[in-house]
Amino acid sequence: KTGVVRSFGSDLLNLDQAQGGLCVYPVGNTHRLAYELTIRPTMIQRWNYFIDAQTGAVLDKTNTTCSFTGPIR
């Protein structure tokens, strides 16, 4: 007998583990074309990243994991 192994929560509440798209991100007095990515490694954790579309550098990241103390930078 065989079965499919999947991570816990992969279909629970229809949460995607990763999603993203292109955006314009402000950097100082200019703007950069960037990818906005939301990563959910677990059902509770959520990270937001802004990645420079030309260089691949991380422009910003925010941990928006649910907690009692608020978001962590």
Helix (H, G, I), strand (E, B) or coil at 14: helix
Cβ atoms within 10 A of the Cβ of 38, count? 16
CA distance 40 to 42: 5
Better pLDDT: 4 or 70: 70
Q: Which of 43, 44, 42 is CA-nearest to residue 67? A: 44
How far are the Cα atoms of 18, 20, 26, 54, 67 from residue 32, in angstroms, in the given order?
A: 22, 16, 6, 9, 31
Give the model confidence (pLDDT) of 17-48 as tens digits.
778 899 999 999 999 999 999 888 877 788 89
